Amino acid sequence: MIGLGESLIGLIRLGDIVLYLTPTTLTLFLTAVGFTVVMALSRPETQVELVFGMDGYKKSEMPMGEIKFRRYMAIVCGVATAGAMITGDIFDFALFVTLAGIADVGIVAASKKPQVLDAAYQYGMTLMIAGLPLFGAAALVLGTAGTLSLHELDTIRVSGVVAVLFILGVLGEIGVAPFYAAKARLFRALGAPYIIMIHVSTLLIIVRTVEIIVTLL
Amino acid sequence: MEIGALFQTAIVIGFASAFIAFLGFVLERDDVHKLVLTDLIEVLTLMIVACVGTDLAECLILPALVVGVAEVLAFSELAVAKEKTRLGFEEKTQQSPLNIEVLRTSPNLIAIILILYGAVLTGFTGGAVAGLGMLYYLVCRWEGDITKSFWEGVGAVSGVAWCLWILGFLLFFIVPDLWLLALFLAGGGILVKVTSKMGLIGIEGKRSFRSPGGKT
């Protein structure tokens, strides 16, 4: 039995890298791919605000360059998330999570407002220093267990410290999520629907991280 | 020391240095200095990965390095954009990105060091190192004009070096006894070829980097 996904559907052996398919990873992968396609095809909404005290309204629209940048970043984030869902290698997972993190910050950073850019910069700093526990944990797994393949790691126990480091790393990489998940205007705010990608990718990554931790311990 | 104990010591030293770097990061208030400190933390990440010391670890360092460099590039761009919006900086403002003092004073020494080190290394790596030195010097300091004969001359040197490289490889298979000669032919050839190619990039880059406003 591997991790959360009760039964093993199949193994794809590519030399050292063994991809494994379970109902959990397959569902997560298909969700990520499907959502990326939706992101790529969807059009941003125009936010309309009523002006108080008179009969009028104002529209706030994103400029075309910003829309294109956000859409590109959302697609990159979706592809990275899909990769992190299907991979069978703990180091590849770390790389995909980092890429998804950079793309998340990119989606936020498309804005031209100073306070938003400042916040994105601080997210970026968190993301960069979280690389140390994440890659450090992957290196420790290689150093103590002798393999990076999650399929083989299922039968080898790794020390709890490594798991804690790994969780710390992933939390840092997706640290941008809570600030956007709690936002009530997520679906209607300026920048929607692309900022939903931040939400979806981080949720999927958290689920996969739980599966990997179960595999490691 | 036994190899297992060595690994443990190296990992402990790595994480202790990381702790010191994190302390510095917590105490630092300036945004740009924070970016520099995160770069330090990236280097420590590479060190911890390198502690494993197997062939596989060597393959892991490169992606980790690429990710680190990508992050530094992305977030320094973000820092520049942030400062520009904060100061109300106009996009159209004329500026030369290479108008810094260190780029006028350092190229001589750094180019000499890189070219000498590249010549010692030989091969493709040496070519890349020496070429980087040449590129740095040409972009920052070189004042000459590019004539047609000069351009073609560099191209011809590159072509001859390419032939030497192929000759070296052929010798390996035809006369294996002359392996040392073949090795030097191939190593020297690829060194000159890569260096001259990167030099041409430097000449071309000089125009677009040094003129005011970035591009001509």
Which residue, chain included where needed, has tokens 């797994």?
A141
Task: Give the number of beta-carbon pairs within 8 Å between A and B.
Answer: 100
Specify the long-range contacts of residues B50-58, CB closer than 8 Å, at least 24 apart: B51/A139, B51/A143, B51/B7, B51/B10, B51/B11, B51/B14, B52/A139, B52/A142, B52/A143, B52/B7, B53/B7, B54/A142, B56/A16, B56/A142, B56/A148, B57/A139, B57/A142
* Chain B residues within an 8 Å CB radius of A139: 48-49, 51-52, 57, 60
Query: Is A84 within the bounds of a domain?
Result: yes
Output the pLDDT for position B214. 44
The chain-wide mean pLDDT, for chain B, equals 82
B48 contacts A118? CB cut-off 8 A = no
Q: What is the dihedral of CA B191, B192, B196, B202, to 10 degrees?
A: 40
- Structurally, chain A folds into a number of domains equal to 1
Q: Read off the pLDDT of each residue in B78-103 and give the average, rounded to a whole number.
A: 72
Chain centre distance of CA A38: 16
Q: Look at A102 and B57 and tell me if their CB atoms are within 8 Å.
A: no
| Local structure of residue A49 (DSSP, 8 states) | E
Burial label, A50 (beta-carbon count in 10 A; 0-12, 13-18, 19+): exposed
Confidence category of residue A185, pLDDT binned at 50, 70, 90: low
Averaged pLDDT for residues A6-29: 78
Rounded Cα distance between A119 and A121, Å, is: 5
Residue A155, domain member (yes or no): yes
Q: Is A178 part of any domain?
A: yes
The number of angstroms, rounded, from the C-alpha of A35 to the middle of its chain's C-alpha atoms is 13
- Name chain A contacts of B7, Cβ cutoff 8 Å: 143
* CB contact A161 to B (< 8 Å): no
DSSP string of B164-208, one letter each residue: HHHHHHHHHHH-GGGHHHHHHHHHHHHHHHHHHHHHHHHHHHHHH
Q: Are A129 and B38 in contact (CB under 8 A)?
A: yes
CA B119 to centroid of chain Cα atoms: 16
Domain that holds residue B202: 102-210
For residue A34, the enclosing domain spans 10-216
B80 with B123, same domain? Answer: no
**What would the two tokens of residue B64 be?**
């980790």
Sign, CA dihedral A71-A75-A81-A85, equals positive
Return the percentage of chain A with pLDDT > 70, whole number.
90
A166 inside domain: yes
Average pLDDT over residues B28-34: 86
Decide if B96 is inside a domain.
no
> Are A119 and A108 contacting, i.e. CB atoms less than 8 angstroms apart?
yes
Q: Tell me the C-alpha distance between A62 and A47, whole Å.
A: 9
**Helix or strand holding residue A81 (H, E):** helix A64-86
Co-location of B114 and B162 in the same domain: yes
**Nearest-CA distance from A98 to chain B in Å?**
8
Distance, in Å, from the CA atom of A141 to the CA atom of B56, rounded to the nearest integer, reads 12
How confident is residue A134, by pLDDT bands cut at 50, 70 and 90? very high
Same domain, B9 and B68: yes
> Could B41 and A128 be called an inter-chain contact, meaning their C-beta atoms sit closer than 8 Å?
yes
Q: What per-residue confidence (pLDDT) applies to B82?
A: 84
Concatenating the DSSP letter of every residue in A1-43 gives --SSSSS--EEEEETTEEEEE-HHHHHHHHHHHHHHHHHHH--
CB distance B76 to B97 below 8 Å: no
Q: What's the pLDDT band for B141 if we cut at 50, 70, 90?
A: confident
CB contact under 8 A, B7 and A102: no
- pLDDT-above-90 percentage for chain A: 18
Which residue of chain B is at minimal alpha-carbon distance from A110?
A: B78
Contacts of A215 (CB under 8 A, 6+ apart): A2, A3, A150, A153, A154
Q: Which residues of B touch A138 (CB under 8 A)?
A: 49, 60
Q: Is residue A58 part of a domain?
A: yes
- When pLDDT is averaged across residues A200-210 and rounded to a whole number, the result is 89
pLDDT at B78 over 80: yes
Domain contains A2: no
- Both B77 and B111 in one domain: the answer is no
CB contact under 8 A, B78 and A117: yes
Residues of A with CB below 8 A from B81's CB?
109, 117
Residue B146 clears pLDDT 80, i.e. is over it: no
Q: Which residues of chain B does A114 touch, with a Cβ-Cβ cutoff of 8 Å? A: 82, 85-86
Pair (B39, B127) in one structural domain:
no
- How near does any CA of chain A get to the CA of B110, in Å? 29
Residue B132 placed within a domain:
yes
pLDDT at A138 over 50: yes
Task: Indicate whether B68 and B140 sit together in one domain.
Answer: no
Q: Is the peptide bond before A193 cis (omega within 30 degrees of 0)?
A: yes
The alpha carbons of chain B give a radius of gyration, in whole angstroms, of 23
Confidence class of residue B99 from pLDDT cuts 50, 70 and 90?
Answer: low
**What per-residue confidence (pLDDT) applies to A123?**
87
Number of folded domains in chain B? 2
Condensed to tens digits (0 to 9), the pLDDT of residues B42-64 reads 899 999 988 888 888 878 888 88
**What's the average model confidence in pLDDT over B188-209?**
78
CA B88 to CA B78: how far, in whole Å? 15
Q: Kindly write down the DSSP assignment for every residue of A103-148, as one continuous string.
A: HHHHHHHT---HHHHHHHHHHHHHHHHHHHHHHHHHHHHHHHHS--
* Contact between residue A93 and residue A84 where contact means Cβ atoms under 8 Å apart: yes
pLDDT for the residue numbered A188: 65
Given a cut of 90, whether residue B16 has pLDDT beyond it is: yes
Q: What is the mean pLDDT of residues A185-205?
A: 78
Calpha distance B208→B216 (Å, rounded) = 6
Give the DSSP letter of residue B136: H
ipTM of the complex: 0.81
Same domain as B80, residue B115: no
CB A201 within 8 A of CB A106: no
A105: which chain B residues are within 8 Å (Cβ-Cβ)? 74-75, 78
